[in-house]
Amino acid sequence: MNITLNGQTCWAKPGETVLNVARREGVNIPTLCHMSNFSPTGSCRICTVEVENGNSLVPSCAYPVYENMVVRTNSPRVRRARKTIIELLVANHPQDCLFCVRSGNCELQKLTQEYGVRTHRYQGERRRARIDIASPAIERDPEKCILCGRCVRICHESQQVGAIDFVHRGFKSSVAPALERSLNTVPCIDCGQCVVNCPVGALTEKSHQKQVWEAINNTDMLVVAQVAPAIRVALGEEFGTDDGAVVTGKTVSALRRIGFDRVFDTNFSADLTIIEEATELMHRLEKGGPTPMLTSCSPGWVKYLEHYYPDLLNNLSSCKSPHEMQGALLKTYYAKKIGVDPSQIYVVSVMPCTAKKYEAQRPELGGEYPDVDAVITTRELARMIRAAGIDFHKLPNQGFDDPLGESTGAGAIFGAAGGVMEAAIRTAHYYLTGGTDMKSLTFSPMRGLEGVKQAEVTIGEQTLRVAAVSGLTNVKALLDDIRAGISPFHFIEVMACPGGCVNGGGQPQPATPEKLLKRTESIYQIDRESPRRNSHRNESVQQLYTEFLGEPGSHCAHELLHTHYVERDEF
């Protein structure tokens, strides 16, 4: 069909919204509540446009096109309406932009500038609420909430957790957990998808910057950083690089200039995780253990299983997540190697994930000392770099410290959904064939942004049925099949965040599908360009087993690298 958009005739498909057509035609319409691929709500009304033959203002994100429709997106009436909406939002918003964590990267702030809101036209009572800081991973400031509902939709539609929702009506409307409780008292999985999709500062990560700076300033401590795979393809965005730019060397350099004594690569322990998981899977297949085995790298996913499917915890791999393995080795193997007391080593994980903050304080992960002392997100690291006065673009490229700094391409692809499975298949092939590597290391069925990917792979005489899932809305059917005893799979990878760690709750904002795609492409680029692409070919990991662990799945390996999980009440 044809419609007229700002005086120009253009084509449109039945069922499309005005917003979709406008964006395809290069017409920018501002939004706050809109989320691509999610159900439209039209709640914020910022995307208001004028439909001429109806002489009415409508939300373009939720209004379908029709034949011969006449739309104006920039009429005086539209501009006045949008400005009034912005003024009303600002009138009910705390005026703390100078010290808000989203200052300079706030969608509401950007709109006030674009539409010339320079005064407070509307005065009166403002919503008041208490800040919720009890969660170990996420802070919630209801006074900053603009009721766009993006956090609610991501929590319900993408994650199927429903830890937050709209409560009350009218002026008292707010977004909160059930009965307005704290996030740490409801089955929130701390994935941070609400945080990365919030347009303002109503939801933020629980900052560990203060503790990290204090540790760096303590001359009695050896402060060690480790860097997750997804950090190196996202951190540059905070400093204006192209989306998905690989900035591994500059990240290492920045951490050293901030004051870290050692910088290691979490990809090392990703390689280690693959060897331990592959060994565990083969043991289950040979001995008849619970299958399908479920991966345990994503702490948000692990917490989801503990809350909603505790009867399937035996299917969960007992392996710790890679950064927890790294922390355990730093305070045992590495501490002994350099002659430093473990109590003097302070381990900081730089992660794309808010759930890692929750994970680090779990009592199951650590002995006399916690495996990891603090977790900072990609965003927090960027703030620390700025606070240290470092020009990121002028940093030289530096390498990680040894021996926990060597990694392979298989460790790098942990950052993308399906990467753990692909890396595991490479090593499983090596073990099941008696020491032969796969001829082609690219396992295409596990690549891409689909929520569920399935495949069969024949290795020698063994046929493995595998799946990779990202975004928890996609995992329920698979878990129900396991519970019913009809699952055809041997091994299932699950990542809580859609697209995997490249789209973690601690990554740069705003999160867009285009950024996610670029980061994923860069992850696989790192793999392609790596001199070694199989986890079992990591020479430092081989040395670790020879000097310290013994063999994969050994008693020592289980003591340090494996753990257990617990059933949690839903409420």
Active-site amino acid positions: 277, 280, 297, 317, 356, 359, 364, 501
Q: What is the largest CA-CA distance in the chain?
A: 80
Range list of H helices, 415-459 = 419-432
Q: Read off φ and ψ for residue 431, nearest 5 degrees.
A: -70, -45
**Letter string b/e over residues 26-40, b meaning 16 or more CB atoms within 10 A of that residue's CB:** ebebbbbbbbeebeb
Q: Which of 85, 90, 186, 209 is nearest to 140 (CA)?
A: 186
CA 349 to CA 337: how far, in whole Å?
21
Q: Which of 270, 522, 519 is nearest to 406 (CA)?
A: 270
DSSP, collapsed to helix, strand or coil, labels residue 234 as coil
Q: Which residue reads 């909430």 in tokens?
A: 145
Q: Which residue reads 């060994």 in tokens?
A: 279
| Residues whose CB falls within 8 Å of the CB of residue 554, separated by 6 or more in sequence, listed in order | none
Specify whether the CB–CB gap between 280 and 319 falls below 8 A. yes
Q: How many CB atoms lie within 10 A of CB 438?
A: 18
Q: Which residue reads 């932009």 in tokens?
A: 97
CA 162 to CA 187: how far, in whole Å?
8
Distances (CA, A) of 92 to 88, 96, 416: 7, 12, 39
By CB atoms closer than 10 A (0-12, 13-18, 19+), residue 154 is buried
CA 441 to CA 446: how far, in whole Å?
12
Specify whether the CB–CB gap between 410 and 274 falls below 8 A. yes
What sign does the CA torsion over 421, 244, 353, 43 have? negative
What is the DSSP annotation of 250-294?
HHHHHHHHHT-SEEEEHHHHHHHHHHHHHHHHHHHHHHT-SSSEE
**Alpha-carbon Rg of the chain, whole angstroms?**
25
Structure tokens given for 299: 């702490």
